[in-house]
Amino acid sequence: MINRRLLLRTSGAAAAGALGTAALSVPAGATESGGHTDPTSGVTRTLLQEHPSPAKGWKAVQTLVQIPRHKESGRHSHPGIEVGYIIRGDVLMEFDDRPPLRLRTGDPFFIPTGAIHNARNVGRVTTMMLSTYTVDETKPLVTTY
């Protein structure tokens, strides 16, 4: 049976391969790489719902993204738009092609198709973001850089 509240790690492979297949759980503990703590360790994306879009070849995906204190999502993009809302916390949304955007509890945000961005938790609690994507169904939800 498929767990509809699928826990995904912020990675293109997990997001692409695990949606609609089986539950995937990733430990939230920090990993060591070259003597430095991974800045993305503990970041999770929980699949809330996924539906075909009225537009052929597209789908709608909704997730709950959680970013622990002092952590970040890592630079990534999506094959479609992301419309989001900060449920709790403070985020510095960094972009490759524009100035960063400071987001706080209650703020909405919009990320254009293909925009490379990084959500950095700059607050004192685990950030929770509700993210809804309209994406190309043939591509991974997340591509990391």
CATH number of the domain that residue 112 is part of? 2.60.120.10
Q: Is the pLDDT of residue 129 over 60?
A: yes
Closest CA to 96 of 75, 79, 70, 111: 75
Beta strand spans in 68-126 (E): 76-77, 80-88, 90-95, 101-104, 108-111, 117-121
Strand-pairing partners, residue 133, are 61, 82
**Residue 1 in domain:** no
Per-residue pLDDT, averaged over 119-128, amounts to 98
**Is residue 72 one of the residues assigned to a domain?**
yes
pTM value is: 0.75
Length of the chain: 145
- On the question of pLDDT at 35 being above 70, the answer is no
For residue 91, being part of any structural domain is answered with: yes
pLDDT for residue 36:
60
d(CA 131, CA 48): 10
Q: Provide the number of structural domains found in the chain.
A: 1
Domain that holds residue 135: 7-27+39-144
Under the banding of pLDDT at 50, 70 and 90, the label for residue 34 is very low
CB 111 within 8 A of CB 98: no
Q: Does residue 34 sit within a domain?
A: no
